[in-house]
Amino acid sequence: YSWNLILTAKFIKSMTRAEKQATIDSLKDTFASNTYFYFTDTSGLNVEDISKLRRICFEKGIQIQVAKNTFIRKALDSCGKLSNEIEPALHGTTALMISETGNLPAKVLKDFRGDKDKPVLKAASIDSALFIGDNQLAALVALKSKNELIGDVIGLLQSPAKNVISALKSSSNKIAGLVKALEERNN
């Protein structure tokens, strides 16, 4: 079953046990192979808004899927990522957002919401750190991506060398002047 399939109650009831297990296995593979995933509540959004959110996620490289909470629990449990903290977030409508960048889904949610309150962030797992509740959205937006952190470290490492080179360049005239003055003094 594709990621874009919305699992309705009627559809789920008509699924065979093997189809349900295949869905759980697919979710398990997703959780096992990704370190950044968000659980959101998209209930209350109209079809137009959901389509717009899906389009934005597609453009940004974020996978989005609505899944049954029971399937999510079983998949998380089978790959060792289910915890007592995340369990309460798995109720109501749950849309998964999976990304290769930890803060990107949070930025998309914040920008998409604007002045509205939907979709709601239920929980997020970033490198095995859990963020529970919609009040964590600002903290997730502020997280730096791996590439941003690497850039910061490189900048910090280059900074002392740049300062030394700059000081030597600016004081080279002073040093040359001092050497010349000392030569003249000795003559």
Q: Fill in the amino acid letter for 171.
A: S
Q: Scanning the structure block, which residue is given the tokens 């995340």?
A: 86
pLDDT of residue 2: 39
Per-residue b or e along 59-85, where b marks 16 or more CB atoms closer than 10 Å to that residue's CB: eeebbbbbbbeebbbbbbeeeebbeee
Residues 6+ apart with CB under 8 A from 145: 101, 102, 103, 104
Report yes or no on whether pTM surpasses 0.75. Answer: no
| DSSP letter, residue 136 | G
Q: Fill in the amino acid letter for 178.
A: L
The one-digit pLDDT tens for each residue of the chain (187 residues) are 333 344 455 566 677 888 888 888 999 988 888 889 999 998 888 889 989 999 999 999 999 988 889 999 999 988 888 888 888 889 888 899 999 888 899 999 999 998 888 899 999 988 878 899 999 888 888 887 777 777 777 776 766 666 656 655 665 566 666 566 667 776 6
Tokens in use for 51?
């389509």
| DSSP letter, residue 41 | E
pLDDT of residue 55: 94
pLDDT of residue 187: 62
- In 10 A of CB 5, how many CB atoms? 12
